[in-house]
Structure formats: structure tokens, C-alpha cells
Homo-oligomer: A and B are copies of this chain.
Amino acid sequence: MTNLPDDTRAALGALLGSRLSLSDSDRALHGRSETHIPDAPPDAVAYPETTEEVAGIVRICAAAGVPLIGWGVGSSLEGHALAAKGGVTVDFTRMAKVLEVHPEDMVARVQPGITREALNTELRATGLMFPVDPGANATLGGMAATRASGTTAVRYGTMRDNVLGLEAVLADGRVIRTGTAAPKSSAGYDLTGLFVGAEGTLGLITELTLRLHGQPEAISAAVCAFPAMEPAVETVILTIQSGIPMARIEFIDAATVAAFNAQSGAGMPEQPHLMIEFHGSEAGVAEQAARFGEIADEMGAEGFQWAAQAEDRSKLWKMRHEAYHSILRQRPGATAWVTDVCVPISRLAEAVEETRAEIAASSIPGPILGHVGDGNFHAILLTDPGDAREEAEAKRLAANMADRALRLGGTVTGEHGIGLGKLDYMEREHGAGWDVMGEIKRALDPKNLMNPGKMVRQDAG
């Protein structure tokens, strides 16, 4: 059943024809998240093909006070794309083209519905790539809206660093273009930066201008084991301080290794590991790998396995990317609570160790892994669905991780965003800054139509 007013439904139908979907199955599909956040289906799903159609949808909905929620592939982990207040979900599946690639400028203009894998497939022949890699094959629009990052941020930055400009439809149907194709600008407020990470609460992103990077001439990757977590983290700190430019550096704990072994027969020793990758010239990569090897050796690393072949590397990173599902399969039928905190590197060992000890003393499993070059790590807490005691335990552990991150000078989310899952921490992380966010929200979306129920203080609309 949909709550869409009849005239709104008629106007949207006239604009979109069969590209307005009211079916229960489609609504259910767009009301579901990958994690513990409860379902919240929209009243309708719209499939626009142009910015003008998006603006039309927004104007029709705005006239009736109907909320609007953007949708990429639904891989968000905090329920960002759930229709918390009902309304129309705008699914960008049909706006998934690469519009332009400028190899000389290392810039591409894309529609928001393209996935990062599809984009990189299209870029392959240009010698360029878009490096931000959150693991899931997310859309670029979704990645921009949540300020995603992932394994390569330590080298290439997050979406904040790789979106040069964008087009967005505002709450009143106006279309703005931010940024330019020039590499930098100091012309006015950074609206690009404001919309990246705004989780669709200020407008719907309808186009992105992306910074591309050269495909590295040479790549070298390795995995090595450590006797404990601290020397692994210490290795990361020393590597960063030595100025060795890592392209990826991932920490996985013994429980995550156990999941890999169970899933893919990796046969790795069940100890903490680092997985690393270097990008550069042949000589550069060889030098970087050698210097890293020296540091890791000194810290007691063992069983170095270098993957110089593309095939071996892709096996390595596939295993890492599938960690979430491998861990889930360790407890069939379980619900995942994917935490995501980020702390200053100097506090990382402390943050991970306290977290590990607390999970070990709890009643639920929670393997730990993360993008340790950024101080960012996750525990994947597994609960039995419907087991209230376990759910309370997961909530307690997640809340303690967030508190710990704040106490250590960090943030409650390194890359997953706020969505519905982390609103409760905004006051503590931002103080009066959270009110300022609300003031900006009200200035740009006074009727609270764009992804309502998220991001800002809810009592203030």
C-alpha cells in the first residue's frame, strides 16, 4: 500500500510513465538495508533518465510535501537510503553513463548511477582509473553522498578529494552546478564539498566531475603475519612516517583470517595480518616494497607472500573485499552490525586492542579489520536475529567503540556515514557544529523534504 497523494501519483505517472513503480516488491527492495537497520520502504520508486526529470520529480513532490530519497545500489551500511518518513525513492539505475572522459585533464564527467566497477571498465583503455574503492560495487552517486573511501584512501584520498564538481537538484527543483574541471579553485564556498557527504539531505546529485588517476605502471602486493596486533599497527605508523607511499594497507585480525580460511581455503596462519599494495614505476615499487619489508621484519613480521602477478593480487583483494560476507557465513543466518570508527594513527593500537578485548569478553563474535593507514577500522558484530540479549550486546559494543573513538580524538564514522545508524552520536562528535548543520539544512531545504529523518537534529525538523 502506498501513501502517495493521488494527484502526486498522477503527476509523477504523467512524467515518468512505467518508470514510476508502485509495486510492493519494488518498494520492499528499496526499503531494505544490508545490516541491522529495520526496513522502511518508500511509497513509490522513480527511475528518471535525465536531470530535468529529476527536477520534475522534485517539484511535484515538493508541492505535496512528499519526501525524496536517492538510491544507488543500496549497499550503504547505515540505512541512508531507507525511506524513514516514506516518500519517493529516486533510483539512478537509468542515469549510469560516462558522459565525458578528458584523458589530458584526468577528469571524467559521469552520471550518479554508474558503479565504480563499470566506470573502471570504461576507463580501462585510457590508461586512467578511478581509485576510490569501498569494497562494495557501489554507485558513484552513493559513494559521493556518503563520502565513501575504502582500501585506497591512504594513497588516493576519499570521495571528498576525488570529486571536483557536481550537479545537484535542490529541494525546490533548482539545478546547480558546483566546481569546475580545473584542478583547484578558490572561488566561493566549497559547495562541492558540502554536497559530498551530505547523504542526500541537501539535494539529489545528478552528475559528478571526477578526478582520475593514472593506472600504475607497476603494482606489488603482499600479505604478512604478525605475532600480535600492536607490531602490525606499529609497522603501519613507521611506514607512513618514512614517507613510503602505500596504495593500500589493511589490517585483518585472527578471527577475520579464520573466516578467510573457512571461506576460500586460504590456509593462512590464524594471526593478525597486514595486506599491502604499492603503486608506481617498476623501480619505485621495488624500492618501496623493500623498505616496507625491512620495517615489517624489524617488527617481527613472518611468512611474507608477495603477489607480483595480477592474478595473485586480484585473489588477495577479492578475499579482502569478500571479508564481510565470509565473516557473515561464519554464523549462518546472523545479522551484521558493521561498526566504523577512525582515530588518529597514534591511538590506533590502543583503540583496536581495547575493542578486541571488549568483544572477546562479550557474548557475540566480532572480527576486526580496517584501513589502518587511515586509522579506520571495523568490527563486524554478529547477532542471532531476534535475540534481544545479543542485540543489546551489539549495541553496547558499537556505542563503546564510538565513545572510544571520540575519547581518542577521532570520529564515530570514518567512511560509512551517519544514515539512521549514527544520528545519536552527532551531538557528541560535533557539539554546536551539529546545530550549524541544521541551520544549513533548513536554509537549503526548509520543508525538510530531502532524505528526512537523517543527518540533523530531528526535533528541529
**A interface with B by C-beta (< 8 Å):** 102-107, 127, 146-149, 153, 157-158, 160-161, 170, 174-178, 180-191, 193-194, 196-198, 202, 214, 216-217, 237, 240-243, 280-281, 283-284, 287, 291, 342-346, 374-376, 405, 409-418, 422, 425-426, 429-437, 439-440, 442-444, 455
Residue of B whose beta carbon sits closest to that of A291: B281
CB contacts (< 8 Å) of A409 on chain B: these are: 180-182
Query: How far in angstroms is the closest Cβ of chain B from A160?
Result: 7
CA distance A182 to B158 in the complex (A): 13
CB contacts (< 8 Å) of A189 on chain B: these are: 194, 197-198, 202, 437, 440, 455
Of the residues B104, B161, B174, B190, contact of A194 by C-beta under 8 Å: B190
A186 near B241 with CB under 8 A, answer no
B418 near A176 with CB under 8 A, answer no
Of the residues B188, B214, B415, contact of A242 by C-beta under 8 Å: B214
**Top 4 closest pairs, chain A to chain B, by CB:** A193-B193, A443-B443, A104-B346, A185-B411
Of the residues B197, B241, B281, B439, contact of A106 by C-beta under 8 Å: B241
CA distance A104 to B214 in the complex (A): 30
B186 near A197 with CB under 8 A, answer yes
A431 near B182 with CB under 8 A, answer no
B187 near A413 with CB under 8 A, answer yes
CB contacts (< 8 Å) of A153 on chain B: these are: 184
CA distance A437 to B413 in the complex (A): 27
A414 near B185 with CB under 8 A, answer yes
B184 near A149 with CB under 8 A, answer yes
B431 near A345 with CB under 8 A, answer no
Residue of B whose beta carbon sits closest to that of A216: B243
Residue of B whose beta carbon sits closest to that of A282: B287
Residue of B whose beta carbon sits closest to that of A202: B189
* Sample of 10 further A-B pairs with CB below 8 A, known A182-B344, A184-B376: A104-B344, A105-B344, A147-B186, A178-B430, A180-B411, A184-B415, A187-B412, A189-B455, A193-B194, A216-B243
Instruction: Please judge, given known A-B contacts A105-B345, A105-B346, A444-B439, whether A430 and B182 are in contact too, CB under 8 Å.
Output: no
In this complex, which of A180, A198, A291, A414 has the most chain B Cβ atoms within 10 angstroms of its Cβ?
A180
CB contacts (< 8 Å) of A149 on chain B: these are: 184, 186
A188 near B197 with CB under 8 A, answer yes
CB contacts (< 8 Å) of A429 on chain B: these are: 180, 187-188
Query: How far in angstroms is the closest Cβ of chain B from A446?
Result: 10
Can you report 12 A-B residue pairs in the complex whose CB atoms are below 8 A from each other?
A158-B186, A178-B430, A180-B344, A180-B410, A181-B409, A184-B374, A186-B417, A187-B422, A188-B430, A214-B242, A214-B243, A243-B280
CB contacts (< 8 Å) of A410 on chain B: these are: 180-182, 185
A188 near B432 with CB under 8 A, answer no
A374 near B183 with CB under 8 A, answer yes
A170 near B284 with CB under 8 A, answer no
CA distance A19 to B134 in the complex (A): 52
Of the residues B104, B147, B194, contact of A241 by C-beta under 8 Å: B104
CA distance A135 to B160 in the complex (A): 26
A413 near B148 with CB under 8 A, answer no
B190 near A160 with CB under 8 A, answer yes
B178 near A344 with CB under 8 A, answer no
Query: How far in angstroms is the closest Cβ of chain B from A173?
Result: 11
Residue of B whose beta carbon sits closest to that of A373: B183
Query: How far in angstroms is the closest Cβ of chain B from A261?
Result: 31
Of the residues B184, B216, B414, B434, contact of A188 by C-beta under 8 Å: B434
A411 near B241 with CB under 8 A, answer no
CA distance A15 to B146 in the complex (A): 44
A432 near B176 with CB under 8 A, answer yes
B412 near A191 with CB under 8 A, answer no
CA distance A160 to B161 in the complex (A): 9
CB contacts (< 8 Å) of A182 on chain B: these are: 342-344, 374-376, 405, 409-411, 414
CA distance A148 to B184 in the complex (A): 10
Query: How far in angstroms is the closest Cβ of chain B from A204?
Result: 14
CA distance A190 to B146 in the complex (A): 11
CB contacts (< 8 Å) of A177 on chain B: these are: 430-431, 433
